Amino acid sequence: MAGNRSEFYRGKRKKTGPALIVSIVVLSLIAFVVLLFYGLQKYIVVTNSGLYLDLPILADTKTSQTGDDDSAVRKFETVNAELIVGEPDYTNVRATAGEGLTELKAVLVPADQVNADSVNAYADSIGKGNTLMLDLKTVTGMLVWKSETEIAKGYGTTGTVDLKPIITALHEKDIKVAARLCCFVDNTLASRYEQLALHRSTGEAFSDDNGAWLDPSNSIVRDYIVSLCKELDAMGVDEILLNGMRMPETEGVTYAYSSTTSATPTPQTVISGFAISVTRTLKSMNANLSVQVGSAKAMQSVDEVTGQSAPLFFKIFDRVYRTSSANTAGDEQKAVKSMIELGELKYRYVPIVYDTLPGTTCWMKLN
């Protein structure tokens, strides 16, 4: 019997010491990095050019010291900082629209006439025109076509007309198809979806002789118009005209906008913001995107009441339409020549007339 041999088998001991130490070190480093990440977040400064860390320990602070070395008191210089938010400068907006256009001679088809038989009759009597402008969303808010967009289906604004075969038939006759949409005067949606309605600062919903209005600053309103444009573009529409893309013409009214911004919203900032957002979102559409301007003042600079501005619109919309006459259309076209940065003037401005056709390359005729 061996004297010192144990009666129990102890097994072979694993060398776990180094691995355990390495694991502890790695976990400690991870914990340190996580704590450092969250601890430094309050020192992150966001600027137009990017992000940077503003650490107090690295600050170049002017200080003074009083007392001896053992009882020194550091005095920091006080700096008064003031954040000033000014009005946006839309003159710096880059021109992106207006190239590759051709002549447009459009005849308006009223909303109640947009059906296969009536549109075919308009096509047969189009005369000197090359485009039919279908009035697809009027101040009533009801859509002419059977829309599959979420809001139209959810709030009962969708129509019944199947547009796709109508568009196809017109294209087969070498006739272009344009669609006119009324943006903000919308009696149906403003009453059925009250959160989208434009309100006075006193709280009541705004309405005028045109009807009830939607709030142009509301993101849901913007998304609704965008979704309608995308749907029409997918059907093959050649041009979309945004009508009524403005604030009401009533002066002296203060509105309670639904959006929150750092500066007090104005008609100009609200309409310009809507226009810039929509045109950027729809920049990949095949269809041209155009706008109708109301006042003579807006055709020159900025209409502070309606918020419209032709100098901005010519930069971001393909064409600008405005009610005119055969006698004045030519002079009005020349007056906006300096606003055209891209494309040709003759294709960018479209006078809207009732009877006699103007001598301009483009026009739209109402019946």
Structure tokens at 225: 């118009």
Residue 295 has pLDDT above 70, yes or no: yes
At residue 89, the pLDDT reads 81
pTM for this entry? 0.77
Q: Say how many residues make up the chain.
A: 367
% of the chain beyond a pLDDT of 90: 72
Using an 8 Å Cβ cutoff, are 175 and 126 in contact? yes
Residues 234-246 as b or e (16 or more Cβ within 10 Å = b): ebebbbbbbbbbb
| DSSP, res 3 | S
278: left (phi over 0), alpha (psi -120 to 50) or beta: alpha
pLDDT at 91: 86
Of all helices (H) and strands (E), which one includes residue 24?
helix 17-40
Average pLDDT, rounded, for the chain: 87
Residue 264's pLDDT is 86
- Model pLDDT, residue 37: 63
Residue of 294, 342, 326, 317 lying closest to 185 (CA atoms)? 294
CB-CB contact of 257 with 269 (8 Å)? no
Q: What DSSP character marks residue 327?
A: T
Angstrom CA distances, 147 to 143, 178, 284, stand at: 8, 17, 21
SS3 content of the chain, % helix, strand, coil (to 5): 35, 20, 45
pLDDT at 5: 42
Q: Does residue 166 carry a pLDDT above 60?
A: yes
At 51-92, the pLDDT tens digits run 455 655 555 444 445 555 444 555 545 555 554 455 678 889
More confident residue, 2 or 161: 161
* Residue 124 or residue 1, greater confidence: 124
Does residue 160 contact residue 222 with C-beta atoms inside 8 Å?
A: no
pLDDT at 10: 42
Determine the longest span between alpha carbons in the chain, in angstroms: 129
In angstroms, the CA 331 to CA 33 distance is: 68
Spatial contact of 47 and 54, defined as CB atoms under 8 Å apart: no
Residue 140 has pLDDT above 80, yes or no: yes
Confidence of residue 121 (pLDDT cuts 50, 70, 90): very high
Which of 276, 291, 277, 281 has its CA nearest to residue 239?
Answer: 291
**Is it the case that residue 159 has pLDDT exceeding 70?**
yes
In the structure, what pLDDT confidence band is assigned to residue 300 with cuts at 50, 70 and 90?
very high
Average the pLDDT over each of 61-75, 322-336, 353-367 and give the range with the smallest value: 61-75
What's the CA gap between 213 and 229, in Å, rounded? 19
Q: What confidence tier does 40 reach under pLDDT thresholds 50, 70, 90? A: low
| Residue 367 pLDDT | 77
Q: Is 318 left (phi over 0), alpha (psi -120 to 50) or beta?
A: alpha
pLDDT (0 to 100) of residue 20: 72
3-class DSSP state for residue 238?
coil
CB within 8 A of 318, min separation 6: which ones? 97, 98, 101, 239, 288, 289, 290, 343, 348
pLDDT exceeds cutoff 60 at 36: yes
* pLDDT higher than 80, residue 261: no
Tokens of 177: 């198809």
Q: Where are the alpha helices (DSSP H) in 155-256?
A: 163-172, 187-192, 219-235
Model pLDDT, residue 28: 79
Measure the N-to-C terminal CA separation of the chain; round to a whole number of Å.
123
